[in-house]
Amino acid sequence: MFIVTLLTTPTERTLDAALVESLRNAWGGGDIRWLAIDEAAEFAIPQAPDNQWDVWADLQQACVDLVVQPAENRRKKMLLADMDSTMIRQECIDELAAEAGVGAHVADITARAMNGELDFEAALIERVGLLKDLPETVVERVLDERITYMPGGYELVNTMKAHGAYAALVSGGFTAFTGRVAAALGFDENRANTLIVADGKLTGKVARPILGKQAKVEALVQITQRLRLTEAQVLAVGDGANDLGMLGRAGTGVALHAKPSVQEKCDVRINHGDLTALLFLQGYRRDDFVT
């Protein structure tokens, strides 16, 4: 048995009931269950449809996300989340670079690295080098003035935790940011890279080993083993090429507003919903959300 989930942008709430019913009928589905009126609905089907991705492409034009997944074990016991452009709207290193006057150059490197065009570790070392001599106090200013949270993050973390799940934030960014973000959103732990500081200034160096693609996979393995969970019980979410390892290993790996090269390697793609979409995928109704 499979579950089909249809959802759209929470701010618009334009999911057409006739569209949901038409697809249900075409795929021989069961009763429609509305998770949020005009926003998210689901129904069961006996087998995965052959034309899923053709339908997905058509629905994207209507600002509707479509996910088909096995019905069994879809409510997860662990959330493993990327931070930059996932739990927050920005890339922290780009915001620091803007303060250093090299914002455009660094943002270009970041975009290419996240799309898988550059080696992540080498790109990180190059970008951090351009931050040399920035005052350490800039980090707090960036956090206060430039960083905003992705809609639905608090609801995602705390609804899952209210149902017994564990939440870990794992970032190729920096601990100076993940500490604040994890505390604000309710994550149980966070892992990231450490910017080296001397005499109140950034040295342009990052502590080794660098947390990149493989380290995110290792976090998945280590935390599940520690909690005596299986990898199938994990919901992972990210947007960049360095997230592909953990997205591929997790029971459900979600490409959230992801780079094209990342989306094409993931079966679960959210382009229109916010982070609450990850709750709908698990069968939670909007009335269940912890807000």
Catalytic-labelled residue, pool 65, 84, 239, 274: 84
Going by the DSSP 8-state scheme, the letter that residue 150 receives in this structure is: P
State the fold for domain 75-279+287-291.
Rossmann fold (3.40.50)
Q: What is the mean pLDDT of residues 143-161?
A: 97
Q: What is the mean pLDDT of residues 32-46?
A: 98
- End-to-end CA separation in angstroms for the chain: 31
pLDDT tens, position by position, 270-286: 999 999 999 999 999 99
Instruction: Name the residue ranges covered by the structural domains of the chain.
Output: 1-72, 75-279+287-291
The Cβ of residue 72 has, within 10 Å, a number of other Cβ atoms equal to 9
pLDDT tens, position by position, 195-226: 999 999 999 999 999 998 999 999 999 999 99
Residue 188 among the catalytic residues:
no
Q: Give the residue among 4, 35, 40, 65 at the shortest CA–CA distance from 258.
A: 65
Residue 82 among the catalytic residues:
yes
Predicted TM-score (pTM) of this structure: 0.95
State the fold for domain 1-72.
Alpha-Beta Plaits (3.30.70)
CA distance 220 to 136: 31
Partner residues linked to 70 by β-bridges: 2
Per-residue pLDDT for 247 more than 90? yes
Q: What is the mean pLDDT of residues 35-39?
A: 98
Predicted pLDDT at 259: 87
Q: What is the mean pLDDT of residues 50-72?
A: 97
Catalytic-labelled residue, pool 65, 82, 239, 243: 82
